[in-house]
Amino acid sequence: MSIVILYWGIFLSQFFLSLAMIFALFRLIRGPRAQDRVVGLDALYITTILLFLTFDIRSGTTIYFVAAFIIGLLGPVSSIALAKFLMRGEIIE
């Protein structure tokens, strides 16, 4: 019984995370301002991390955890670079 509940819980969480990724991608593409696009990018990489972690739980391997860790390290760097570009117009001075 608990295996079935775990399976359906992971399945539903993957479904809702995929739905959240679609909404974040919509905000990233269609955002009326640049700040909305930055928020969409942040939401997209955070939901990608969570989706990879649910894949890791479902498969039982650690490769998805490593991918989620790398995305977690590089995601804030991209947000900082985009924010710096929006403020100054250039990334590297």
Task: Give the global pTM.
Answer: 0.86
Q: How many domains does the chain have?
A: 1
* CATH number of the structural domain spanning residue 80: 1.10.287.3510
Domain that holds residue 1: 1-88
Is there a domain that residue 93 lies in?
no
Over its length of 93 residues, how does the chain's per-residue pLDDT go in tens digits?
Answer: 688 999 999 999 999 999 999 999 999 899 888 888 889 999 999 999 999 999 999 998 999 999 999 999 999 998 888 888 888 776 666
CB count, 10 Å around CB of 88?
A: 9
Report the distance separating Cα 13 and Cα 62, nearest Å. 19
Is there a domain that residue 3 lies in?
yes
**And the tokens for 83?**
């924010």
